[in-house]
Amino acid sequence: MQSRSRAPRGKKTEIEEMISVADICKALSISARTFYAWRAKGLAPECHKLPNGSLRVEPEEYARWLKTLKQAA
């Protein structure tokens, strides 16, 4: 029996489409410690905190944030 909270097969939920801190760190070749230091200084992309405490970033926010870095360079 399929529960109502699951997305149909082949479709990702809104949370599954978001980018994890681990994925961002891997893409930028930085440590999680560096990411959280940037976040404490207000330099990281805007994050959503999930009920389990983990953070996720919307793909559009991540792309916008990367553009700001490119413009600053």
The contacts of residue 46 (CB under 8 Å, 6+ apart) are: 57, 58, 61, 65
Q: Is residue 6 part of a domain?
A: no
Residues of the chain where predicted confidence (pLDDT) is lower than 50: 1-3
CA distance 70 to 56: 22
Domain containing 27 — which CATH number?
1.10.1660.10
Please report the pLDDT score of residue 3 as a whole number: 47
Q: How many structural domains comprise the chain?
A: 1
Structural domain contains residue 39: yes
Question: Which domain range does residue 66 map to?
Answer: 14-72
The pTM of the full predicted model, rounded to 2 decimals, is 0.77
Q: Mean of the per-residue pLDDT values for the chain?
A: 88
User: Is residue 38 included in any domain, yes or no?
Assistant: yes
Q: Is 56 within a domain?
A: yes
Q: pLDDT tens-digit profile of 25-41?
A: 999 999 999 999 999 99
Please state, in angstroms and rounded to a whole number, the distance separating the CA atoms of residues 47 and 12: 19
Q: What is the pLDDT of residue 16?
A: 78
Nearest CA-CA partner of 60 in 45, 42, 44, 72:
45
Q: Which token pair is 70?
A: 């490119």
